[in-house]
Amino acid sequence: MCGIAGWADWSKDLSEERSVLTEMTRSIAHRGPDAEGFWLSKRAAFGHRRLIVIDPEGGKQPMLYRDGDQTIALTYNGELYNYRELRRELEGKGHRFKTHSDTEVLLHSYVEWKEDCVRHFNGIYAFGIWDEQRGQLMLGRDHLGVKPLFFAKRGSAVIFGSEIKVLLAHPLVEAVVDREGLAELFGMGAMRTPGLGVFKDIEEVKGGHYVTFTAEGSRTTRYWKLVSRKHTDDTETTVRTIRSLLEDTVERQLIADKPVVCMLSGGLDSSGLTALAGKNFHAHGKTLHTYSIDFVNNDRDFEQDFLRRDQDEPWVRRVSGHVGTEHHSVVFGPDKLIAHLLEPMRARDLPSVGEIETSLYLLFTEMKKDATVALSGESADEVFSGYPWFYQETYLNAEIFPWLLNFGYTSDVLKAEIRDRLQLEAYRKRRFQEAVGEIPFLEGEEELERKQRQMSYLFITRFLPYMLDRKDRASMMTGFEVRVPFCDYRLVEYLWNVPFEVKSIGHIEKGILRRAFEGVLPDDVRNRRKSAYPTTKDKAYLDLISRWMLDILHDPDAPIHALIDAGRVRRIAEGKSLEGSGADARAILDYLVQVNCWLKEYGVKLELGA
């Protein structure tokens, strides 16, 4: 895993622009703490920050391919899980390799197949390729968009990088946010619309897409999408297929030249992956290390709610004992959470959800002390339709993204004139209708099946990108790589057409996955009901974030005054508001504190128009 930065310009000589490229590349030093590399030519300049995982000596970047007058340069972030098979196939076509890295395999894949190379990959990746002979820049991103990639077109130049901060480090790109960007921030929250960078004229390469640029212009190509067809496998065949795919992808994703560990919450998803990984470790005479998160006084403060049925730690110990892992429980208190609240915002270059992302960042900080790579159960709920929303009519019939039904308080604290200008309800509806318009419904489906397919599509293409973005930024901010086996595109393709009634067989969420883990996990663990990512319930956290918000409100120069109804926010921070209290108050204040600090730290210029 790494960080990439680059720049192409068809009318300017870039060969002497090392200082600008250095600033761009070093802005993401956290993504690649092990090495730095640069390559500059007349029309293109590439930078790279490396986190060494495979082939320490052979994977140095940017990597070049030269043959006669042909020069191809690559800067790449990610892992190709099928690089060994691809290498053998390419060798059969006459290619010769100098290293054992997947980087060289990706480069030779482009030499062999050009843009179609992405159709041969199984992995998580974001890359830039400059083809000197064709005068072309190609930016490609993996199927689900696990690894990030942004770009900005400025005149004859294209600037790109792993994170928005790379682009903002270039003198042609300013930190400007217009009405659409603010509508994203306050209408969609952290669940950013794929393809949008929030900052004005900063775009994102969507998952499953690549973009090519030449002197004549640009072209975006979608190389992968979900295709609907009737599911014809019986239940047992479905179970075997899921189990086989998971065993294969876990084995592939354990390949590394650095220590690999597992995240473990005691829930079905992470427990199943831990059991499969643990079996592999035991076969090689090794002990798997696992990590979980907990909070100070959680035994005292825990409260059951809509998404959290019980505490994780008893289940974590149960799974760790069953698999035989060496487990590490990482515990945080409210002081530490508050002290690091802004780190996820700095990692994402945008305001984040808050305390949930802070605790994830802190967990990775601790894990990095022992390892470089981890497996995570992220995305199982999205691809197996595991959320409660999949079977509740209120959410199935809503003409809005289901996760936004309970997300209104933050936008309510905006000034009336700002709300009028942003038209947030209309904005959310437009984004929802765009998503629904993409869905490949299956002819002949009953209305309930259509609604469930629609819900599945929304979660895979709109909610999952946020979850993956959150995990990538929180981990890579600490120079730590997280792999997500449930995002293997083969598994996602297969599950897309498995009916909800089969996915929830046994009248329990992810029932089909529970059956796939028979004999892998103890029955009580397999049958544990879903409990969401943990969050602190300590009232001290709300007190601390409230004080922070009040300090901001007392500062006449705080930039957020231009956006919010200060009186309304003050009532929330003082605990005097009926419309925002408890968990809602904490979410509002978490977000607004970050928005204020983001506006200030990034020097954001707001363009709201007339």
Lowest mean pLDDT among 127-136, 285-294, 326-335, 578-587: 578-587
How far CA 152 is from CA of 43, 156, 345, 558, in Å, comes to: 16, 11, 21, 29
Q: How many CB atoms lie within 10 A of CB 231?
A: 15
On the question of pLDDT at 469 being above 70, the answer is yes
30 with 161, same domain? yes
Q: Are 204 and 197 in contact (CB under 8 A)?
A: yes
Q: How far apart are CA 376 and CA 249, in angstroms?
A: 12
Question: What's the mean pLDDT in 472-490?
Answer: 96
**304-324 confidence digits (pLDDT tens):** 766 677 788 999 999 999 999
Question: What's the mean pLDDT in 484-494?
Answer: 98
Q: At what angle do helices 464-476 and 355-367 cross, to 10 degrees?
A: 40
Q: How far apart are CA 370 and CA 385, in angstroms?
A: 34
119 with 245, same domain? no
Q: How far is CA 452 from the centre of its chain?
A: 24
351 with 492, same domain? yes
480 with 564, same domain? no
pLDDT the model gives residue 408 = 59
Final residue of a structural domain among 222, 253, 274: 222
In a domain? residue 75? yes
Question: What's the mean pLDDT in 132-138?
Answer: 97
Question: What's the mean pLDDT in 265-281?
Answer: 97
Question: What's the mean pLDDT in 161-170?
Answer: 98
pLDDT the model gives residue 579 = 66
Closest CA to 62 of 160, 128, 121, 136: 128
pLDDT the model gives residue 57 = 73
15 with 132, same domain? yes
**336-379 confidence digits (pLDDT tens):** 999 999 999 999 999 998 899 999 999 999 999 999 999 999 99
Q: How far apart are CA 154 and CA 201, in angstroms?
A: 9
Per-residue pLDDT band for 610 (boundaries 50, 70, 90) equals low
In a domain? residue 402? no
* Token representation of residue 21: 């490229």
Q: Are 601 and 346 in contact (CB under 8 A)?
A: yes
| DSSP 8-state symbol, 441 | P
**70-80 confidence digits (pLDDT tens):** 999 999 999 99
What 3-state class would DSSP assign to 512? helix
| DSSP 8-state symbol, 460 | I
pLDDT the model gives residue 257 = 84
On the question of pLDDT at 120 being above 80, the answer is yes
Question: What's the mean pLDDT in 41-64?
Answer: 88
283 with 375, same domain? yes
Amino acid letter, residue 87: R
544 with 603, same domain? yes
Q: How far apart are CA 310 and CA 146, in angstroms?
A: 29
| DSSP 8-state symbol, 559 | G
Question: What's the mean pLDDT in 124-129?
Answer: 98
437-442 own/partner pairs: CB under 8 Å, 24+ apart? 440/225, 440/226, 440/227, 440/228, 441/228, 442/228, 442/229, 442/230, 442/497
pLDDT the model gives residue 576 = 87
What are the residues whose beta carbons fall under 8 Å from the beta carbon of 469, sequence distance 6 or more? 148, 192, 348
| Strand arrangement of the beta sheet that strand 203-204 belongs to | 35-40, 44-50, 2-9, 157-161, 150-154, 203-204
pLDDT mean across residues, the chain: 94
10 with 112, same domain? yes
In a domain? residue 322? yes
In a domain? residue 428? no
**492-534 confidence digits (pLDDT tens):** 999 999 999 999 999 999 999 999 999 999 999 999 988 778 8
Does residue 2 have an active-site annotation?
A: yes
- Number of structural domains the chain divides into: 3
pLDDT the model gives residue 26 = 96
Class of residue 426 by CB neighbours under 10 A (exposed 0-12, middle 13-18, buried 19+): exposed
| CATH number of the domain to which 165 belongs | 3.60.20.10
Final residue of a structural domain among 177, 194, 222: 222
| CATH number of the domain to which 521 belongs | 3.40.50.620
DSSP string of 300-319, one letter each residue: HH----SS--S-SHHHHHHH
191 with 127, same domain? yes
**80-89 confidence digits (pLDDT tens):** 999 999 999 9
Q: At what angle do helices 447-458 and 424-438 cross, to 10 degrees?
A: 110
Q: Which residues pair with 292 in a beta bridge?
A: 329
**389-445 confidence digits (pLDDT tens):** 888 888 999 999 999 887 656 788 999 999 999 999 999 999 999 999 999 999 999
**174-222 confidence digits (pLDDT tens):** 999 999 999 999 999 889 999 999 999 999 999 999 999 999 999 999 9
Closest CA to 75 of 43, 123, 42, 40: 40
Q: Are 345 and 466 in contact (CB under 8 A)?
A: no
> What percentage of the chain's residues is helix, strand, coil (to nearest 5)?
45, 20, 35
**567-605 confidence digits (pLDDT tens):** 999 999 999 886 666 788 999 999 999 999 999 999 999
Range of the domain at 245: 235-390+466-526
Closest CA to 278 of 291, 262, 266: 262
Q: How far apart are CA 226 and CA 496, in angstroms?
A: 7
pLDDT the model gives residue 368 = 96
**Which residue out of 2, 117, 262, 597 is catalytically annotated?**
2
Lowest mean pLDDT among 222-226, 270-274, 443-447, 582-586: 582-586
98 with 170, same domain? yes
Final residue of a structural domain among 160, 194, 222: 222
Secondary structure (H, E, C), 329-362:
EEEECHHHHHHCCHHHHHHHCCCCCCHHHHHHHH
Peptide bond into 62 cis (omega under 30): yes
In a domain? residue 33? yes
Q: Which residues pair with 414 in a beta bridge?
A: 564
Q: How far is CA 316 from the centre of its chain?
A: 24
Class of residue 386 by CB neighbours under 10 A (exposed 0-12, middle 13-18, buried 19+): buried
In a domain? residue 438? no
* Token representation of residue 264: 């473990």
On the question of pLDDT at 96 being above 90, the answer is yes
* Token representation of residue 414: 């905006």
pLDDT the model gives residue 609 = 78
249 with 210, same domain? no
In a domain? residue 420? no
Per-residue pLDDT band for 457 (boundaries 50, 70, 90) equals very high
74 with 26, same domain? yes
In a domain? residue 531? no
Start-to-end CA span in the chain (Å): 44
